[in-house]
Amino acid sequence: MILKGLLGFILGSILGSFSNVIVYRTRENISIVTPNSFCENCHYSISWYEKIPIISYIFLKGRCSNCNAKIGRKHFIIELASGVLLSIVFLFSDNRNELIFLTIIFPVVVSISLIDIEELFIYDSMLMYIGIISLVFMLVNRNYEGIISFCVSCAIYFFIYTISNKAIGSGDILLSSLLALNLTPLKLYYFVSISFILGGIVALVFLLLRKANKDSKLAFAPFINISFFIVCTIL
């Protein structure tokens, strides 16, 4: 059990680090494969031992070894949080195929959440990746009920999109529906419910703290993704 959780933490921190790369390079229209990771300030090519998640940040004291520029603290936080989240998934998930699926989509799901929080936008390339992987695993698991879940999710979110004056985005509709390909209709019910409960709680807190008003836009992708992982891992 401990080894399983540790494996999840190590893998999660690595994938979290990769999410940071995906976010930056997608925005800058740079390939996520090449060139080698580099400092955003001086473009120094980072050595392998400077890319070890969490440890390298601490060892380098949050600064580039070449130009001494500060490395954003959010990189460290994302690596740490990703490690914790995936370790929880590893500890509670007892379905091998589901665990593999969640691990494969994890870095892109994290990237989608981060970008949506900052820009209220989801890139088509990321939705395409989620769609392809979801479809493949739906067929592998022979979960043909996923087609029903996909259609129902589309209908629910499009209805909300229409009556709420676009309080959610079209990207949210696609993200939720593509993830739903791997859910039974019953799990879809919990998936949608938890998404809106989490979103409602956060929105209420922001309103009470006066961090937002009734016309403010709230990134919904993080709640969709968290809800999906909860449903797949625990239910």
- pLDDT, tens only, 78-112: 999 999 999 999 999 989 999 999 999 999 999 99
Reduce the DSSP state of residue 224 to 3 states and report it.
Answer: helix
Residue type, 13: S
Q: pLDDT tens, 121-174?
A: 999 999 999 999 999 999 999 999 999 999 999 999 999 999 887 788 899 999
Listed in sequence order, the residues at least 6 apart from 2 whose beta carbon sits closer than 8 Å to its beta carbon are: none
State the CB neighbour count (10 A cutoff) for residue 38.
Answer: 14
Q: Tell me how far the alpha carbon of residue 8 is from its chain's centroid.
A: 16
pTM: 0.94
pLDDT in tens, 7-43: 999 999 999 999 999 999 999 999 988 888 898 899 8
Amino acid residing at 116: D
Domain ranges of the chain: 1-92, 95-235
Closest CA to 8 of 16, 215, 68: 16
> Which of 142, 4, 168, 16 shows the shortest CA–CA distance to 80?
16
Residue 70 has phi, psi (to 5 degrees) of -70, 140
Residue 193 has pLDDT above 90, yes or no: yes
Note whether 199 and 172 are within 8 A (CB): no
Burial of 129 (0-12, 13-18, 19+ CB in 10 A): buried
What is the pLDDT, as a whole number, of residue 191?
A: 98
70: helix, strand or coil: strand
- Identify the bridge partners of residue 63 per DSSP, sorted by sequence position: 70
Q: In whole angstroms, what is the distance from residue 122 CA to residue 35 CA?
A: 24
